[in-house]
Amino acid sequence: VCVAYDVDGVRTTEFPSGDRLDIAKPVYEKVPGWKCDIRGITEWDALPQAAKDYVTYIEKLIDCPITMISTGPDRKDMIYRK
């Protein structure tokens, strides 16, 4: 997951623009994944723990709750969280 950018030795979480974009280097953090198929899951508790941890990680990173998670190509393949 890209969490920041290094622009001339300065780390920033703002997306670089203009000429700065050409010299920006993304800063990544590795997060564990999961290997099972989650298509069609509609309940939070049915997700693998690594998937739940990933969603929680992203929520903390963006400082915003994630209330809908798509788990497949169909409209009904959604998890709704409060």
Q: Which residues pair with 2 in a beta bridge?
A: 28
Burial class (CB in 10 A: 0-12, 13-18, 19+), 48: middle
**Structure tokens of 39?**
């298509």
CA 33 to chain centre: 11
> Distance between CA atoms of 31 and 25, rounded to whole angstroms?
19
> Distance between CA atoms of 25 and 7, rounded to whole angstroms?
7
Q: Residue 13: what pLDDT?
A: 95
Encode pLDDT of 52-67 as tens digits. Answer: 999 999 999 999 999 9
User: What residue ranges of the chain have pLDDT lower than 50?
Assistant: none
**Structure tokens of 52?**
């739940």
Whole-model pTM: value is 0.83
Q: Residue 82: what pLDDT?
A: 86
Q: CB under 8 Å to 39, separation ≥6 — which residues?
A: 71, 72, 73, 77
